[in-house]
Amino acid sequence: MSKITIAIDGYSSCGKSTLAKALAQKLHYNYIDTGAMYRAITLFSLRNNIIVDSVIDVAKLIKALPLIDVSFVYNTDTKSSEVLLNGEHVEKDIRKMEVANNVSAIASIKEVRSKMVALQREMGKHKGVIMDGRDIGSHVFPDAELKLFMTADDDVRAQRRFDELSSKGEYHTFADVKQNLKNRDTADTTREENPLIKADDAVILDNTDITKEEQLEFVIKLINDLLLTKD
């Protein structure tokens, strides 16, 4: 059966990666978390004083880009790909709030996006890949056979993120978490370089009131119907 490219875009904390990982395991596809790639660049910038008090030294970052290698390694325990920054496993570090507070600004920089998009296209050139992010269906893979645009109620998204952070021992107020999501939404949808938009042919998936299992079942049906038509 033919393999396809699946592009998943949407707002923060809508469960894009959860769905993408489940699909990858079900279909035996490669999963690429493009948001993790931008988070890795952000972590590098925080560690190397390129970001100081939320101010980015853009010139310094652009100069450092050739020194930044972002790649993935497959974790056999979690059965998912995890990000490496210059060979260092940083999956846990890139999920911290300090990174979340700065990643949208880093992702808005043209030179950063150009480097990451080139890597993403190389990773997905043989199809059989699932990518989630902000501009996958609209820019990285505009010809993807299946495009999803995920959304959910703001309070539901904030609660999911709050619970995720708390489970990892990182405690913040619900108000701070919700504000962080609001700030990221604004930055993602208004940036000049490939903003977060719904591709014209994307299927909207609002998972406010459905379970992960119902969500997965819905998308698998979309894929099966698509493959039957394609083959």
DSSP structure string for 182-221: HHHHHHHHH-SSS-----TTPEEEE-TTS-HHHHHHHHHH
User: Can you give the pLDDT of all 231 residues of the chain as single tens digits?
Assistant: 689 999 999 999 999 999 999 999 999 999 999 999 999 999 999 999 999 999 999 999 999 999 999 999 988 887 778 899 999 999 999 999 999 999 999 999 999 999 999 999 999 999 999 999 999 999 999 999 999 999 999 999 999 999 999 998 988 999 999 999 999 999 999 999 899 999 999 999 999 999 999 999 999 999 999 888 766
Alpha-carbon distance 71 to 8, whole Å?
A: 20
Nearest one of 132, 38, 140 to 90, comparing CA atoms? 38
| pTM of the model as a whole | 0.88
Q: Which two tokens stand for residue 79?
A: 């059965």
Q: Give the length of the chain.
A: 231
Nearest one of 17, 18, 12, 81 to 213, comparing CA atoms? 18
